Each structure stands twice: as C-alpha cells, then as structure tokens.
Structure 1
C-alpha cells in the first residue's frame, strides 16, 4: 500500500488535477493507495484574507467569497464530465459554501475572529478539494480526516495525540478500498470535538501519519518541483535535484527553509523506516528525491544548501553571565513561553554573550520578552539591554559526509572571505551534519552561489565577467569567449558568463549572462553610462566570482580598481595606467588584492600575450633575483624600425603600424616612448625595485614639438622627419646595424633609448611587431633567459587577457 499526497499546485489547475488522476489510477492498478490532498492552490490564503476582511467589517469579503465559489465551480465544470456526478458534487460543494458563508457573516456582524473560528474557516479548503478529487477518480472512497486525526492541547500549544490517532486510523482503514481519498491538514480536538489543524503544510503531516500507522510501503509527496534541490533554483541557476537524502539530511534542509516537505512529516515515517519519495506532478516521469535511512556516499562533502531570509540576531550579553548556571535556560524558557521560536544559537566560550536567531517578525517581541526577563540584571548593570540586528539571513550547509571530514569549516570561511562576505554568527552541532551561519541579507544570493560553486554541487564552475572596452582588444576578447564557451563547458566544466559590457559611453548588464551574439548591438542601443555608474552597478549586483576586465586605456576606468578590489572583485587589466601609476598606488592595489584573496592580473601590460610578468614572478618566487632587463617592448616601434627602408619612409611605417592595429589609438603614445616607459616601470616593479616613470632616463628619436597640438597636426608634420631618418638609416645599413628601441633596467636604474644593434645581438633579427626580453638573474647570469614572440595586436593581447581569466578560473 502507498500513501500519495498532492499539494495545492497539484490540484490548482485543470491540467494538474487531471495529471493527478492519471498518477493515482496508474498506481492503484498495482496496489491500494491512500490519496491525501491539499486545498486548491492559493485557497488557504484566500480563506484567511477573506476572514480578515469580514473581521474589519469590510463588505469586500462578499466579493472575495464569491470568487472562491466561482473558482471551485469552474473547476468542477472543467473536470467532471458526467452530468449526474457533476450535479451531485455541486450540491455537496454548495452546502459547504453555505456553511462557510454563514461563518463569515457572523464574523462580519460581531467583529470577532477566534482561533477556533479561524481553524474552522481554513478547514473548508481541503474539504472542498478532496470532494472534487474523490468524484473525479471513479471508485474512490472519501474519508473524513476529523474522525481519526486527533489533536490535544499541551502547554498552550496544539499537538497530535499520536496513540489515539494511530488506533483510529487502523480502525478506519481496516477494510482498505482500492483508492481512499482523505483531506489533508484537518484534525479534530480529542476532547471538545472542535475542528483543528496540523499547521500550514499539514497535509504532508497527515499523509505521514497515515503511512506510519498503516505501515505503508512508501510515502509519495507530489508537488510542483522535481524533489529536493541542492539550493534554491530561483537563486542558483545550476541547482539540481538531489537523488537521495537521509532522514536527518532532509530534516535539516526542511528546518532551514527548504519548503519541499513540511518538517514534522519526516519523523513518523522515519521511526517506521518508510521511505519518502518526492515527485513532480507536472513531470511524473522524473526520478525525484528519495528520503530513506541509508544512502550511498556520493563523495561530495555536502548535500545541499538552505537558507532563511528575514533573520534577526539578538545578543544577550553581560559579565554576570560568565559561569552563572541557568542563564540560557531563562533565555529559552522565556521565549518559548511566549511562542517565539529560536532557530540558531551561537555562544562564546567565555560565556559572556549568547546570540540567538529569530524571524524578523518575532524580533520586537523577543527583545521585549528578554529585557523583561533580565530587567533586574539590566537595571543594576550586570547585563546590557538586548541588542538586535535585523536585515540578516541564515545559511545552512547540510550533509552527513561532513562528519569528521577535515577542512570543511576552513573551506567555508575561506570561500566566503575571498568573496568579501562576513560571517556575523556561526553554529555547528556535534553531529557535524549542519553548519549554520548568519550573513547580511544583501549577501545571501552571493553566499549561496559561491558555496554551491565551491563545494562542487554545481556541474559547472562559474566566473562572472564585466568587460570594459569593446575596441580592438575588447571586441576580440568577446569573440574568443563566445567561440570557446561550449568547449570550456564540455572539457573544463567552466562557464564564463559575461554579465556586463561597457564602452566609453554605454553599458549593459544581465546577471544571467549577456547574449554575446548580439551584445554589441544591444550595447549601442543602451542607456548612457560612466565609469562611476559602471562601478556602482557592479558593486550593486554583488555577484559571486566576479572579475572586472579592463580593455581600455582610460585613466578614469583604472581609477575604479581600488574600489573593486576592496569589494572582492578580481581585476584583469590590459590597461597599463594603474600598474605604472605612482608606486604607492601600485603597491596599494597589489596589497588590497592579497588581503582580500582576489587577483590583480596585468600580464598583457607588457608583451601582449607573452608570459613575461608571470616568468619574472616565478623566478622571484623561487628565490632568484633579477639583475638586469634588456627588452624591445614596443611591437609598434619594432614594426616601424623593421619596416623602414629606402622605399618606405618613416612616416609611412608609422601609418602602417596604426592601420594594422599595432599602435595605440594615438600613435604619439608609442613614439614618445610613454608606452615603453610604462612597460619598463611595470617590469622593474615586478622585478622587486621601486621606480617611478619620472625616474626613467629617456633618449627619444622624435622632437618634442611633434607631440604638441592635435593628432591631425601630428600626421601633417610627421613626413618632415623622413629625410633625416633615411640618411641615418642608410649609414646604419652600411655598418651592418639596425635600429631597436630598447628598454633597460640594471640594478634598479632604468632607461629607454633608440639603439643600433649589430648582427651578433639577439635583437638584430627581431621581426615585425615581435617583442623580446632578456632576463639576467643570479641563476641566469652568463646566458640570460630570453622570451620572444608577438608583442602587439588585438588577437594576441585578447588571448593574453583570456589566459589571465583562465588563471583565475583554475585557482
């Protein structure tokens, strides 16, 4: 025998109630079934809301009442096809509504709504729905749950009289029909005979009571979800159904906000070792979740994450608490006596404070109760008035595999810390099955996502990218991400979500990820933006595993880095301005990233996609010392001096460098040596030396006056230099030498200059836009380490940025 429970959504529409019929009739072919149903979806809330209107003397209760009547009759007309059955059922339903209308009218007249009357009103939801379903399913027999589900009052609270209920259930179902139909939720006081109930969600409990009392094979909970999820799918896109849970794991998840099963449901069947199967009425073919005593170890440290919003943390503190027996008893007794539930407790070992978590709605009453309980201690200063902090959320990670597994708490703290999430309070039981902690409510979404990702509950690790700059480099980067997206999902289980894109004037954002096929068109049609607006939106979105990618040359965008790093957002910069800015600012950015546990990466600042900075860092981290750097760091300038010839004058080579995308948007930045100076400053700093741009000795090849005025003026006057360059070039050629613009650092002293190198020098045969770096170190002293390759170009620079992104993803 099976017990099948169907929730409000399962009887809330014509399609769902017809699906229910198919499920029940299929199961009944193999064995007897008891079907427990809730009220039509939303009806319980409407019953309560209508009673409140009547209580206030609001005539609107009549309209609300008529709407409920109309809804039930429309359901009957839609699903009951036999005219005689429809007429008979309509008579039953109308009789119930007549009773309900009389009760509402009484409340309206006397402006009084007792608990007894309210319990009676809400019972009509299940009484109505169960009669509809009983008529719909031919051959079923309807049972009145009030005749066998009995409650009693203990210490001011209503609870199940288990012994009496079990005895009455056994008697009621001694002759078990093929299909039994029972209204859930409803009960009856064993002494007075008044209608009572088992609490919101009590239909689950009704089904569990019946299953346990009758030793059912299984209890099936049919609802609108596939089962227990690893997390709330409305918050975490990658949440998925958990195949199996132990009774204890399910209870922990239920108690912390997972509303799949009403918590009291688990105990009766757990005692009898009856499994619970949670299934989806709308997708009955799906496996769902099985809850049982013994489950297979899936190797994952936790099973799921649950949360409670609207948490208030109340702290009871005072020196008089230390070593005093009975303080906590007074705290919990006084709250319990006033019907206030505490779901989290955190106490310092010093015993001078205890923090308790309650729902926001109970916070004011809880503070008043505790202030009154400890009034004398507060008055004479032995304790302080209660401190309450609201706007919080409680998160619980749950799983039996956490038992005696080292490092779970450490990973929890580290993961949250790197994401900039502070734990306000923490509680862990000795069973090691549940670690609960309190965070700010604004950090809840981020906490859930980062934990789901970190503890391998997600199928994919996610990295959320904000890309600033859609020019040559930014545009190529977006294209590379789009082309590589599916490959990374398939082979690296990594999802690169581009959640924001900004140009110099516009920005678009989407927490779920932008459509990269149409993003540039969407960007052009978007609202105006600014660097400050960009920063505010990024911080406001508060997305986990966020990375800001700067593909601009903007000083204003570089100024955002500090704020982003302080808020635990990693920064990848193709922009050289920040790393070559004042040494103090450079150090502050690196230190902030280190302290916050995020990354500040700028490999493409020097050499585009070449691993120059990474190599220097590896050498230093291994204990080596950089003594000297000699480098051709400008792909633009190397292209110019490699192209220049008797047929191609100097001005033409500059124009070609611009046209082929090797130069900066303003080529004067390259020709002035500014770009090379920035790169040399960055390399010198990464090599362990303190240097500012003004410290670099400059020996340039274009007169200063050419850098004044507009870009158009520059292009107009540039050919004036061609003749002199050709005369000097011809002389060098005759000597078997070539020009290279060389950046040099030796023991911290830096310089940039146009130098002539002969055929024996490593720089002589450097072609096109290639860069080359020679590193002389204590280990590589006689034969310097050489790094050479493409040092300019949108594609290779974008690839270098992409590599930085991947280095963060793979941490």
Structure 2
C-alpha cells in the first residue's frame, strides 16, 4: 500500500486538483492507495479569520464566509460536469450551513472555545476531501471518501490532540484491509475523540494524518506532495544555488524541519520512523523531478557530511546570569519549569561552563511573556543582586548545519565560524549537541541572507566563490575594467572558481543597482537609466544589500570617494582602488585604514597606485613579509611623464606631447597632477610606507620643472596655455640633456628614510636610460639585494594595464 498526501498549494484550485488527479491516476501498479488532502489553499486561514470576526461581533464575518463558499462552489463548477454538480453542491451547501450556524453562535456569545475552534477549522479538510473524492469518481478513478475522524482517535486536548495509537492503528488496519476501492480519499488534520467529538492534530496535521495511516498499514512508502521538489540544501528562495537533496536520513530530516525547512513537520516522521517506512517528498507541479527520499541512514562512505543549512527566523535570546547561579543546584530546573508552565518552547540552549549564565533561544513572539515569567520566578535572587534580570535580545535568527556524518569530519565548526567571520556575521550564541548532527549559531536576522549564501557556497558549491562588486568610476579605466570582467567571466568561474558579479555602477551623475547582477553587455544603458548619484546613498545601498564577499571598487581620482573607504571597511566590505589619495593621505589616516582592514577582515588593496598593472606593491609586501628590509628605492614611477619625455624632442613641442598623453589616457584627468610631481611623490610615499617607514607627504622633497604660473594655473585649459607660453623653457631642458648625451627622466628615490622626486638627466649607462614609451621601472635595494637590485619593469600607465591591475586585486580578494 502507498500513502500520498497533497498539501494546500497542491489543492489550492481546480487547476491544481487536476494535476493531483493525474498523479494519482498514473499509479497504475498500485492496488490500494490512501490519498490524504489538506484544505483548499488559504481556506484554513479564512476559517480562523471568520471566527475572529464573529467573536469580535464584526458583521464582516458574513462576507468572509461568503468568500469561503464561493471558493468551494467555483472549484466544483470547474471540476465536476454540469450533469453531476447538483448533488455535490447540495452536500457542500449543507456543510456550509452547519458552519454558518457555528459562526452565528460565536457572534452571539462573543467568545470561542478550543473545542469550537477545532470544529470550525475541520471544515476546510472535510469540504476539500469530499469535492476531490467526487471529482476522482467522475474522472473515472476507482475512488471513495473515508472520514479520517472515523479512523484516528485522540484525547480531548482540543487544538493539538494526542493520538490513541492503539485504537487508531486497529481502525486503520481493518479499514484498509477490507477497502474495495483502489483509492481512498481522506481529510488530513482532523480526528475525533472516542465520543466522536471533532479534534485537530495541530500544526502539520495533514502530514501527520498521512504518517499515522502509513504507520498503521505498514505502507511501503509515504509520499508527501507539495510545491517544491523535495528538501533543499538551503531555502531556495534565499539561496539561488540550493539544490534538492536526493537522499536523507529521518534524523537529518527532523533536524532540518525543526530549523525552518517548511516541507516537513517533525512529528510527521515519528509514526513512520518506528517502522522505517520511507518518506518521499515530491513536487505536484513537477512530478517528473526526483524529489527527496527520507529513509534509514545507510552510513554510505564518502557522502557529503553536511546535508543542509537551515534557519529559524524571529528568534529572541534570553540570558540569565549572575554569581548566584554558580554551583547552585536546581537553577536550570527552575528556569525550564517556568517556561514550561508558560507553554513556551525552547528552541536552543547553551550554557557557560562556569555556570555563570544560561542562554536560551525562543520564539520572539514569546519574549515578553518569558521575560515577565522568569523575572517573577527569580524575584528573590534578583532583589539580592545574586542574579540579574533576564536579558532579552530580539531581532535574531538561528542558522544550523545539519548532517548525520558531521561527527566523523574534523573542522566543520571551524569552517562554519571562519566563513561567517570573514563576512562580518557576528555570532551571538552557539550550540552543538553531543551527536554533532547539528551545529547551530544565533546571528542578527539582517545577516541571514548573507550567512546562508556564504555557507552554502562553502559547503556545497565546489568552492566556487561569488564576488559582488560595487564599482564607482566608469571612465577610461572603469570601462576597460568592466570589459575585462565581461570577457573573463567564464574563465574565472571555470578555472579560478570565482563567480564575479557587478551589482552596482556609479559615475558622477548616475548610479544603478541590480542585486541579481548588472549585464555587462549593456551596462551603459542601465547606468543612463539609473537614479541620481550620491556617495552616501551608494554606500547605504551597498550596506543594506549586505551581500557576501562584497568589494567596493574605486576607479576615480576623487578625494571625496577616498574619504568613504573607512565606512566600507568597517562593514567588512573590501576596498580595491587605483585612487592614490587615501594611501598617500595623512599617515594616521593611512594607518587607520590599514587597521580597519585588519580588524574587519576586509582587504584594502591598491596595487595600481604604483605602476598600474605591475606587481610592485605586491612584490614589496612579499619582501617585507619574508623578513627582508628595504634600504633604497630608485624608480621611474610615472608612465605619463616617461611617455612625455620619450616623445618630446626638437620636432614635437612640449604642449602637444602632453596633450597627446592626456588624450591616450596616460595622465590623470588633470595633467598638472602628473607634471607637478605630486603623482610621483604620492607613489614613492606609498612605497616608503609599505616598506615600513612612517612618512608624510610634506617630508618628500619635490624639485618641480614646471614654471610657477603653470603650477598656479586654476583650470586644465589654462594649464595647457601656460605650456605654450613657456615653450622655450621646455626646449632648453631638452637641449641641455641632449648636449650631455643624456635623456630626461622624472625620478623618485627613497634612501636613508628620506624621499625626493624630480627631473634628472640620465646618462646612457644608467638602467633608466633606455626606458621607453610609458614604461615604469623600480629598483629595490635590500638586505638580500644589495649589489644587484630587484628590478621590476613594464608598462606603468594606460587604461588597459591599470584595469588589469584592479582586476588582479579583485582576484586577490577572491583568493583570500
């Protein structure tokens, strides 16, 4: 025998009931089936709403009742042929008249008892099962209706009655042993006392009904048909990559159900667990999908130790603490008795080994009642300051890793906590049973989405890591960066296991967000249609999204943007930037950002600040980390200035070469920053700081080669005009160097704790002499590289190479 249960969504309307009929009809090999059905979707809530309105003597209860009637009559009219409708409608109206009488009584009395409530809500399943059975008959199925109240007997605990299994099992056994029809349709959720009074089985009652019948008849399988394709590794509405679990043990299923997996209600498992009857969770709307098989653990070797990640929302944490608890027997007993008497369920427990405190997780809805009850029970100890008044923290959730075989795998707890810690998810409490089937942690409810996704990524997604980028600045460098991300997306996912998504873009005018990821094939159009840009608004949106592995990417050269880095780092959002302003700012601010990066485990990377895409800073960091010490740095660090002086000669005037450098993207938007030496000074300052020296901008000696009125020019056009005015000055610089057989290079140096930048005449035997185009070169003299320096050379300017440097920093964050 097989037992099938169809939930409220499966029988929500005529269309869905047609799907149920098709599933039942497809079971051609089965000789005997029990089909347990819930009320039409949403009807139970409507029945309770109508009761509440009637008790409140709100005349609107009649309209709600009429809506209930319309739902059922419409379903009949769509399912049953016109020639067969009258008898069915007559029976349904008769039941609805009985229901109307009950509501009239509530309206007159202004109160409701648990017994009456059970009677009222039973009509949902009684009506649906009758309509579905009649539909099965006219559709040609060999079907009959059996009232579950005749089979399942309970005590008189109305609202959540306890089953008399001895009597119930006997009733079910003899009924199904003699059942002549192939299909027996039964209402779920309802039962009755030995006197015939209607009772209900509480939350998950329809599943429970099906499990009771399956257990009593030794069914070969219990199938629970719902609107999802089984139990998932995580909530698929929150974790898009979640997948159905093909096979799971009874114990694992109960743990996942307890911690929020809505597909199954834990008590459902008990009647079939004792007889080890498999449970199959299937999707009414995708019956071809495999679903989840729940059965005895077969101790399969090599299987995934973590079967699922679940969560319970709306949790409050109660903490009872005080020196008066240490070594005093019976404190825990009193605490739990208080909660039991108040009918408050405890979801999670953790206690300090010092016995100084006990921490409990309960439903947030019970927090006020629990606080009052506990403080009253311990009033005497509180008055003596031996125990503090109970501390209540709300707005929390529990997340749980579940798996039978977690106990045989080392380090799972460490992976859980480190993964959450890297994403700034603070853990308020932890619980792990001796069986190690469940590891639970209490976190802030605002972090649930991020926590579930990052844990699912860690335990289920073949180590593919999702990086969420928030990009500001889409000019030359920004556009090239987006092109490179778009081009390499597949490579990153397949080869480096990095799924890089651009969630937000901003320029000085517009910003656009898309939590699902902005399409990089038409990002310009999306940005043009975005909202008005705001640095503060951009940050607040990034923070509110609270996505895992978030990275703020700054492709600007703007001080206002650099001033926001601390806000991102404080929220464990990595910062990757080609903007030199922050790393070259006041030393205290530089150290502050570094400290935030360390404290909040948020990388702060700025490789492109020196040498664009060249690995200069990364190499320097590795030298320092390995114990080497920097003595001297000699470098040509401005690709733009190198381009200018390599192309400036007697045939090309200085103004035109600088103009060309700007147009080709080698200079900053304001070329004066490059030509004044400020940009190079920032770079050598950053290298000195990364070498371990405490240095500020004022300490760097800058020998400018520009005339004073060029340095004082207030705008870029006026600056270019001064270059024309002083053409003779620049020609003289070139002539003097050329006469000596030397070439002009703008050189930065750091030695003995002192730094300077300036234009130098480089002789032909110097390593800098043959530096062509926009290349940079850096010489590091260290303890290990004393006579022959460590040399790094290559393109040090240009949108492409700068973008590639930012790209490399993104990969570094992903590898962190």
TM-score by structure 1 length?
A: 0.97
Residue in 2 that maps onto 1:104: 103
Residue in 1 that maps onto 2:277: 274
Query: 1:156/1:139 Cα in 2 relative to 1: closer, same or farther (>3 Å)?
Result: closer
The size of the alignment, in residue pairs, is 809
Query: 1:718/1:17 Cα in 2 relative to 1: closer, same or farther (>3 Å)?
Result: same
Residue in 2 that maps onto 1:626: 630
- Cα offset, 1:87, TM superposition: 2.4
Are 2:46 and 1:41 equivalent residues in the alignment? no
Residue in 2 that maps onto 1:781: 786
- Matches of 1:94 and 1:492, distance apart in 2: 65
Residue in 1 that maps onto 2:428: 424
Query: 1:452/1:183 Cα in 2 relative to 1: closer, same or farther (>3 Å)?
Result: same
- The question of whether the paired residues in 1 share the 8 Å contact of 2:250 and 2:269 is answered with yes
Secondary structure at the residue paired with 2:320? strand
Residue in 1 that maps onto 2:365: 361
- Cα offset, 1:445, TM superposition: 1.8
Map 1:57-206 onto structure 2 (within 5 A): 57-81=57-81, 83-137=82-136, 138-153=141-156, 158-176=161-179, 177-190=181-194, 192-206=195-209
Q: 1:643 aligns with which of 614, 627, 647?
A: 647
- Matches of 2:347 and 2:202, distance apart in 1: 18
- The question of whether the paired residues in 1 share the 8 Å contact of 2:315 and 2:363 is answered with yes
Secondary structure at the residue paired with 1:11? coil
Map 1:672-687 onto structure 2 (within 5 A): 672-687=676-691
Residue in 1 that maps onto 2:813: 808
- Matches of 2:66 and 2:318, distance apart in 1: 45
Query: 1:246/1:538 Cα in 2 relative to 1: closer, same or farther (>3 Å)?
Result: same
- Cα offset, 1:575, TM superposition: 0.6
- The question of whether the paired residues in 2 share the 8 Å contact of 1:651 and 1:721 is answered with no
- Cα offset, 1:84, TM superposition: 4.0
Secondary structure at the residue paired with 1:689? coil
Residue in 1 that maps onto 2:6: 6
Map 1:327-338 onto structure 2 (within 5 A): 327-338=331-342
Query: 1:297/1:554 Cα in 2 relative to 1: closer, same or farther (>3 Å)?
Result: farther
- The question of whether the paired residues in 2 share the 8 Å contact of 1:452 and 1:458 is answered with no
- Matches of 1:401 and 1:624, distance apart in 2: 46
Range 288-297 or range 264-273, more displaced: 288-297
- The question of whether the paired residues in 2 share the 8 Å contact of 1:28 and 1:179 is answered with no
Q: 2:596 aligns with which of 592, 599, 613?
A: 592
Residue in 1 that maps onto 2:344: 340
Secondary structure at the residue paired with 1:174? helix
Q: 2:535 aligns with which of 531, 547, 550?
A: 531
- The question of whether the paired residues in 2 share the 8 Å contact of 1:230 and 1:242 is answered with yes
Are 2:315 and 1:311 equivalent residues in the alignment? yes
Q: 2:257 aligns with which of 254, 269, 286?
A: 254
- Matches of 1:291 and 1:648, distance apart in 2: 80
Query: 1:403/1:112 Cα in 2 relative to 1: closer, same or farther (>3 Å)?
Result: same
- The question of whether the paired residues in 2 share the 8 Å contact of 1:297 and 1:401 is answered with no
- Cα offset, 1:385, TM superposition: 2.0
Residue in 2 that maps onto 1:442: 446
- The question of whether the paired residues in 1 share the 8 Å contact of 2:612 and 2:796 is answered with yes
Residue in 1 that maps onto 2:23: 23
Q: Which runs of 5+ in 2 are unaligned?
A: none
Residue in 2 that maps onto 1:222: 225
Secondary structure at the residue paired with 2:346? coil
Secondary structure at the residue paired with 1:691? coil
- The question of whether the paired residues in 2 share the 8 Å contact of 1:322 and 1:350 is answered with yes
Q: Which runs of 5+ in 1 are unaligned?
A: none
- The question of whether the paired residues in 1 share the 8 Å contact of 2:114 and 2:158 is answered with no
Query: 1:145/1:156 Cα in 2 relative to 1: closer, same or farther (>3 Å)?
Result: closer
Residue in 1 that maps onto 2:671: 667
Query: 1:313/1:665 Cα in 2 relative to 1: closer, same or farther (>3 Å)?
Result: same
Query: 1:153/1:225 Cα in 2 relative to 1: closer, same or farther (>3 Å)?
Result: same
- Cα offset, 1:383, TM superposition: 2.2
RMSD in angstroms over aligned alpha carbons? 1.7
- Cα offset, 1:704, TM superposition: 2.4
Alpha-carbon deviations, 1:740-770, whole Å to 9, x = none? 1111111321111111222222211111111
Alpha-carbon deviations, 1:485-536, whole Å to 9, x = none? 2332333332212111111232222222223233322323322232222222
- The question of whether the paired residues in 2 share the 8 Å contact of 1:89 and 1:132 is answered with yes
- The question of whether the paired residues in 1 share the 8 Å contact of 2:159 and 2:200 is answered with no
Q: 2:742 aligns with which of 722, 737, 753?
A: 737
Q: 2:234 aligns with which of 231, 234, 237?
A: 231
- Matches of 1:550 and 1:298, distance apart in 2: 45
Secondary structure at the residue paired with 2:581? coil
Residue in 2 that maps onto 1:324: 328
TM-score by structure 2 length?
A: 0.96
Are 2:725 and 1:720 equivalent residues in the alignment? yes
Are 2:513 and 1:509 equivalent residues in the alignment? yes
Q: 1:399 aligns with which of 394, 397, 403?
A: 403
Range 770-779 or range 230-239, more displaced: 230-239
Range 395-404 or range 592-601, more displaced: 395-404
Range 572-581 or range 501-510, more displaced: 501-510
Residue in 1 that maps onto 2:502: 498
- The question of whether the paired residues in 1 share the 8 Å contact of 2:575 and 2:603 is answered with yes
Secondary structure at the residue paired with 1:220? strand
- The question of whether the paired residues in 2 share the 8 Å contact of 1:28 and 1:178 is answered with no
Query: 1:382/1:620 Cα in 2 relative to 1: closer, same or farther (>3 Å)?
Result: closer
- Matches of 1:25 and 1:574, distance apart in 2: 65
- Cα offset, 1:325, TM superposition: 1.7
Range 432-441 or range 17-26, more displaced: 432-441
- Matches of 1:457 and 1:730, distance apart in 2: 64
Alpha-carbon deviations, 1:329-381, whole Å to 9, x = none? 12112211221111111111111211111111111111222222223323333
- The question of whether the paired residues in 2 share the 8 Å contact of 1:634 and 1:771 is answered with yes
Instruction: Name segments (4+ residues, structure 1) moved above 4 Å.
Output: 153-157
- Cα offset, 1:89, TM superposition: 1.8
Are 2:417 and 1:413 equivalent residues in the alignment? yes
Secondary structure at the residue paired with 1:27? coil
Residue in 2 that maps onto 1:240: 243
- Matches of 1:336 and 1:455, distance apart in 2: 37
